[in-house]
Amino acid sequence: MKRRNFVATAVAALFVLGLSPAGFAAQPANESLKAPTVRVGVLATGTANWELDTIKRYGLDKKHGIDLVVSAHTNKNPAAVALQAGGVDGILTDYIWVSRQRSDGADFTFVPHSLAVGGLIVRDDSGIGSVKDLKGKKIGIAGGPVDKSWLILRAYGQQEAGLDLADVVETKFGSPPLVNQILLKGEVDAVLNFWHFNARLKAQGLKQVVGVTDMLKQLGIADESPLLGWTFSQGWAEKNEEGIKAFLGASRDAKKILMEDDKAWDALRARMKPADDATFTALRDGYREGIVSKYGAKEIAASEKTFAILAKLGGKTLVGDSTTLAPGTFWGGYSF
C-alpha cells in the first residue's frame, strides 16, 4: 500500500474510533454543537405551562440557544423537593419561600414571572359591596390561614374598615376548586381564590369587589410587586449564566407573543380547559393582566413592603425567623 493511502486510511480509522490524529479523544460533532439543557419543574395543571408550551411551539428555546426540558409535578411541594435535590434547575414559586430558604442558608434566588393574583369574588345576593360589608359573612379561602391573599385582605380590612377580618368573618379554607364550588352552591357569601379560578367565576357573571393588586395600592404599594417568579440556585446561575439568561429571554419572548397574538392562544385551549368562550377569554385576559412589564429596584422595593405586611400577619408560620426580605432573594443578574 502506498504511504499516502496508508496514512489516509489510518487517520480515517482514528476518527471512527473517536480519536484525533494526535491520539486524543475527539468530541463528536453533534455533541459539541448540542445546546445546553435547562430543566424546569412546574405544576402539571399550572398556568405556567401556557408559557412553556408557547416556548416549545415557537422554538424559542432553540432560538436562544438552549434545550428546555419541562417536568410536571402534582403540587408545589414535589417541585420544591426536586429543586433542592438538583433534579431540576428551576421552578415557579413565590419569593416568600425563596426568602425563607435563604434565611435558612440556601442560595435560591428569584426573577419575577407574574403579577397575577386573586381577589374577592361575591355572589349577587351577598350584600357585599366593599370590605366594610364582610363583617358576619362567610368567606371561602383557597389555601390556609397564612394564604398570602388572605393576609393582604386582612391588612386591607384593618386599614379601610378598622376590622381584623379573622375576628369578624367565618372562614372556610379549602382547595381552589372546592372554594369555587361552595360559592356556587351558596354555602359562602364570598371567596378569595387564585386568579385563574376567579376568572372562571367572573365568566359566569359573578363580580369581583376588589383585587389583591388594588388592595396593595391602597396599602401604599403603588409599584408592581410580583409574587411568583422563576426560582433557581444562585450558584447554578453563576455557573450557567448564559443558560439561565437564555431561558429568561425565551420566557420574555413567549409572554410578548401571548400578550399580542390572540391566535397563539388557540393551541392552548385544550390545556386551559375552558367551559365556554367566555371562560376562555376571561382566562386569556387575566393572564395578560398579570404579565410583568418591568423588573428593577422599584419592584424589589415594592416586594419588600409587601413582605413586611405578610410577615406581620403571617408570622413565623409563613416567613420563619426573619421579619425582613432576605438579601439576594431577587436575582441581580437579570432585569428588564
- Domains identified in the chain and CATH numbers: 1-33 (no CATH), 35-115+226-319 (3.40.190.10), 119-218 (3.40.190.10)
Q: Cβ(131)–Cβ(191) under 8 Å?
A: no
Tell me what percent of the residues of the chain surpass a pLDDT of 90. 85
Q: Kindly report, residue by residue over 111-146, the tens digit of the pLDDT.
A: 999 998 899 999 888 999 999 999 999 999 999 999
pTM for the model: 0.86
Q: Kindly report, residue by residue over 214-241, the tens digit of the pLDDT.
A: 999 999 998 999 999 999 999 999 999 9
pLDDT value at residue 2: 42
Q: Nearest CA to 225 among 287, 306, 156?
A: 306
Neighbours of 135 (CB within 10 A): 13
Neighbours of 171 (CB within 10 A): 16
Distances (CA, A) of 101 to 42, 94, 213: 19, 11, 25
Q: Is the pLDDT of residue 7 over 90?
A: no
Residue of higher predicted confidence among 22 and 239 = 239
Q: Residue 19 and residue 28: Cα distance in Å, rounded?
A: 10
Q: Is the pLDDT of residue 3 over 70?
A: no
Q: Residue 304 and residue 291: Cα distance in Å, rounded?
A: 20
Q: Cβ(250)–Cβ(60) under 8 Å?
A: yes
pLDDT value at residue 33: 59
Tell me what percent of the residues of the chain surpass a pLDDT of 70. 90
Task: Give the single-character DSSP code of 43.
Answer: E
Cell 455557573 belongs to 239
Helix, strand, coil share of the chain (percent; to 5): 50, 20, 30
Q: Is the pLDDT of residue 61 over 50?
A: yes
